Amino acid sequence: TERTFIAIKPDGVQRGLIGPIITRFEQRGFKLIAIKLVTPGKEHLEKHYADLAGKPFFPGLIEYMNSGPICAMIWEGREVVKTGRILLGATNPLASAPGTIRGDYAIDVGRNVCHGSDAVESAEKEIALWFQESEITSYKASQFDWVYEKP
Ligand code: GTP
Ligand code: MG
């Protein structure tokens, strides 16, 4: 089954959005298989956003991500990477449709409350960066027989 890495950024945690963001993924039918609050430090955050290292906003991005605890999660389900990005909305919240997380809770691209992996391959890399194998659970969600026609 497909997995994605979703992280509620420091502004999302501080603004009390952990519950509402988790609720959107839960209510869609996805399964939470790992979760923790972490402040991993700049070096780790620079690895996470390594692809953006040359961008002018990179130092500000790292400072933002290092400004408080992050709620790191792994969600599982059919096409969860792509669908997770749709739930998040566009990178720039001003371009995000209402009904999306960023479209409902954010304004500034530099304070867009939540991260989601952009491809299956990056999801696998990010999961390996943020989680130990022992932190990832495995269970049958009782609702799955109702969420999927063929599980
Ligand atoms: P993530 O889910 O956080 O990875 O966002 P994304 O995949 O929608 O966008 P991207 O990976 O390109 O950028 C990562 C993060 O850098 C964004 O979520 C923003 O917080 C920040 N960012 C991206 N572009 C800009 C920009 O033009 N200005 C500023 N200030 N921040 C930016
Ligand atoms: Mg990204």
Does the pTM surpass 0.95? The reply is yes
| Predicted confidence pLDDT, tens digits, the chain (151 residues) | 999 999 999 999 999 999 999 999 999 999 999 999 999 999 999 999 999 999 999 999 999 999 999 999 999 999 999 999 999 999 999 999 999 999 999 999 999 999 999 999 999 999 999 999 999 999 998 888 999 998 6
Q: Is the ipTM above a cut-off of 0.90?
A: yes
Q: Minimal CA–CA distance to 59: which of 6, 11, 67?
A: 67
The yes-or-no answer on residue 115 being catalytic is: yes
Distance 35 CA to ligand 1 centre (A): 22
Distance 85 CA to ligand 2 centre (A): 9
Using a 6 Å cutoff on CB, does residue 110 contact ligand 1?
yes
Q: Answer yes or no: are the C-beta atoms of 86 and 77 closer than 8 Å.
A: no
